[in-house]
Amino acid sequence: MENVLHFDILGTSFSITADEDEAYLQKVLAQYRAAVENTQSISGISDPLNVAVLTGFLLCDELNKGSAAEGASSEVEERALNLIARLDQALKICENG
């Protein structure tokens, strides 16, 4: 079911239609509002277009850093699983041995 989210941000009104439920859309909107407020407070920029562009850039930066951390995490997990498999093999050899 499609939901419509109406909101005002940075002096502009928007309506978004999405297949997501309203609670999810409200959560995303709250995150974006917080990101906009953060951008305004750290940059001192007040022009709405500049704030929106800089906020988008900072969010993309966060996503990429998160993706890099996830990649490192999966690499660590893979190494741990390989180590566990080797230990299992070594224990089986010792038990049979």
pLDDT tens-digit series, residues 20-68 = 999 999 999 999 999 999 999 999 999 999 999 999 999 999 888 876 6
| CA distance between the termini of the chain | 62
pTM summary value: 0.66
Burial class of residue 2, CB neighbours in 10 A (0-12, 13-18, 19+):
exposed
- Condensed to tens digits (0 to 9), the pLDDT of residues 64-82 reads 887 666 666 677 777 777 7
DSSP letter assigned to residue 18:
E
Residue 16 φ/ψ, nearest 5 degrees: -120, 130
Residue 84 clears pLDDT 80, i.e. is over it: no
Residue 83 has, within 13 A of its CA and on its CB side, a CA count of 6
Domain spans, the chain: 3-96
Tokens, residue 9? 């941000």
